[in-house]
Amino acid sequence: MTNDEIRAFIENAIQENRVMLFMKGTPNQPACGFSARAAGALNALGVQYAALDILPDPRIREELSGVSGWPTIPQLFVDGELVGGSDIVIEMFESGELAELLDVEQPQAPAAEDPQPEPPRRPLGLENRLG
């Protein structure tokens, strides 16, 4: 493939998929922590999305950055627009903005477990040696 063909493929993927994630690795086998967190946020929302591994050919990353103007991976696009990288995706996920953007329900945070009750304290038994 030529660079122009790669760029056209990327642009087409962004337009054809409402939610498009460019990442290192795949959602099932992410190749970096940032990609894992971005895919994890989308998975937690239960949204359908397309993902493309940028690692097989360095030109994919070069052309993607040329299309988006964003230098780092992962990159999330929604409705043809760049949302951002991992930090932005995670911030939006935590605030509920990502769920709103994707028109899905924000998952409930797991309830904090009840703290273990403290064992009853017994008075210390001191031997009086002051006499």
26-81: per-residue pLDDT in tens? 999 999 999 999 999 999 999 999 999 999 999 999 999 999 999 999 999 999 99
List of domains in the chain: 3-102 (3.40.30.10)
pLDDT at 122: 53
Average of per-residue pLDDT across 89-118: 80
pLDDT at 111: 47
Give backbone dihedrals phi and psi of 76, rounded to 5 degrees, phi first: -110, 130
CA dist., res. 43 & res. 14, Å (int): 19
- Tokens encoding 124: 């210390």
Average of per-residue pLDDT across 93-121: 75
Specify whether the backbone of 124 is left (phi greater than 0), alpha (psi in -120 to 50) or beta: beta
Residues recorded for the chain: 131
DSSP strand pairing (19-23 vs 50-53): parallel
Average of per-residue pLDDT across 3-30: 96
User: Is residue 9 over pLDDT 60?
Assistant: yes
User: Is residue 112 over pLDDT 90?
Assistant: no
**Which one is predicted more confidently, 90 or 113?**
90
